[in-house]
Amino acid sequence: MSDQPNIILINCDDLGYGDLGCYGSGINQTPYLDQMAADGIQFTDFYMGSPVCSPSRGAMLTGCYPPRIGFAEFDGRWVLFPGQSLGLNPSEKTVASLLKEVGYATKIVGKWHCGDQKEFLPTRHGFDSYYGIPYSNDMGRQTPDDKYPPLPLLFDEDVIQEQPDQASVTERYVEESVRFIRANQDTPFFLYFAHMYVHLPIYPPDRFMRESENGRYGAAVQAIDWSVGVLLDELKQLGLDENTLVIFTSDNGSRARGEGGSNKPLRGTKGTTWEGGQRVPCIMRWPSQIPPGSVSNQLVSAIDLCPTLVELAGGEMPSDRIIDGKDISSLIRNEEGAITPRETFLYYRLHNLMAIRSGRWKLHTHTVGKSGIEVCNELYDLVADIGETTNLYDQHPDIVADLNAQMDIYRKDLGDNLTGTKGENTRSVGRVDSSDTLTHYDPDHPYIIAMYDLKDRG
């Protein structure tokens, strides 16, 4: 057995904290993920770097808070859009490029959303190959006069289909993932499987629609679960099971506005810096290293994955730049007495530092009200009050003062528009002089689906 583990990182889109059976859902069918949790470790306090997708994904790939890498916002937009001139700077090091340096075969299947110009595509960021839709699945044609061009499906850097049937996309992703695993079973590999589900619009396969007790949403969750089952079975069939670390998580919380998603028992939704926006499910399975049935309530983040995976692979993080992630390999193995190296976690909404967590305490200095971002004075004990229901601000002035002082330090480091503070240690987003969309609508092209009939966008 190689000292270097195979690594599969599965990242869902908009899957909420309460959407899996092992996290409390009584309505979505997730037997494979529930078994994966029983076989490995389940994290209860795992955070994404942002409550929306582009900054969340850039943060996870680089091990840095979004403002650190110029990914807090994109010329005023929350996420990247088709044809935009911005993307992940080619000078950034990703987990894929760092693993590639120590002999890994690397592949991304699914959603990228870190820039669609050639300079920003996955193949320019350490991935040997790419198969997927480069941004959100709602950024395709849904109306005759749509502002979006046809939704592109890419292989490496070329569009191989426009406006694919979204009900078949996940099955195609699984097939491509299995092909990659089989082709690289004799060498260490890193597979980043970035699901389309459960982002709107949701087009699930018929089988899962028939079985779902939670409409389209539940069917999409079940499709995700099925895909995990296929990958785990493939690893067993190839004899790779024991030395493969499989990580399952989501890029941010669920929209949870009547669409079937759940962030329970957390407060807030996607796009907010309440717990429901950024605390997400995280399950890891590695039979030779992780004791079955493990649970960790330690404070950890997706920005910790990059340095951790590089360390496990025998690589080195770059020393010429600041990396915010910490090595959490002892927590992954659930070693006795292991304590998180993460003392704090920052909640950024665009360039605005809204809240901070340290240990059990979370301080909100700002929230979003009817008139926009508003000052607030709210302190929560997340161990006793996971739902952020009881404000303890007045009872603990010493804790408030300490957390405010820490926020001031981070503002100087990363910046904060709310206080007019420019960050001293931030890097630039990637930018090209001219840009174009990957596709353009052609009325004579034989699209399998010229316009998606669901008009949901999220």
The residues annotated with a catalytic role in the active site are: 53, 113
Instruction: Return the biggest CA–CA distance within the chain.
Output: 68
Residues 53 and 60 sit within 8 Å (Cβ to Cβ) = no
Helix (H, G, I), strand (E, B) or coil at 376: strand
Q: Which residue, 73, 112, 119, is CA-closest to 434?
A: 119
Q: Which residue, 20, 15, 45, is CA-closest to 304?
A: 45
Residues 56 and 50 sit within 8 Å (Cβ to Cβ) = yes
Q: Is 384 exposed, middle or buried (0-12, 13-18, 19+ CB in 10 A)?
A: exposed
Q: Which residue, 329, 277, 262, is CA-closest to 24?
A: 262
Residues 197 and 221 sit within 8 Å (Cβ to Cβ) = yes
With vertex at residue 364, the alpha carbon angle to CA 363 and CA 368, rounded to the nearest 5 degrees, is 170
Alpha-carbon distance 132 to 153, whole Å?
Answer: 5
What is 46-108 written as a DSSP string?
EE-S-SSHHHHHHHHHHTS-GGGGT-S-BTTBSS--TT-SEES-TTSPPHHHHHHTTT-EEEE
Alpha-carbon distance 298 to 383, whole Å?
Answer: 11
Q: Which residue, 161, 185, 184, 158, is CA-closest to 172?
A: 161
Token digits for 78?
């929350």
What sign has the CA pseudo-torsion 46, 49, 50, 52?
negative
Cα dihedral 81, 85, 87, 89 in deg (nearest 10): -170
Q: Which residue, 400, 353, 366, is CA-closest to 380?
A: 400
Q: Which residue, 307, 360, 300, 359, is CA-closest to 334?
A: 300
Residues 307 and 294 sit within 8 Å (Cβ to Cβ) = no
Buried/exposed 335-372: b ≥16 CB within 10 Å, e otherwise: eeeeebbbeebbbbbbbbbbbbbbeebbbbbbbbeeee
Residues 437 and 150 sit within 8 Å (Cβ to Cβ) = no
At 296, give phi and psi (nearest 5°).
-125, 130
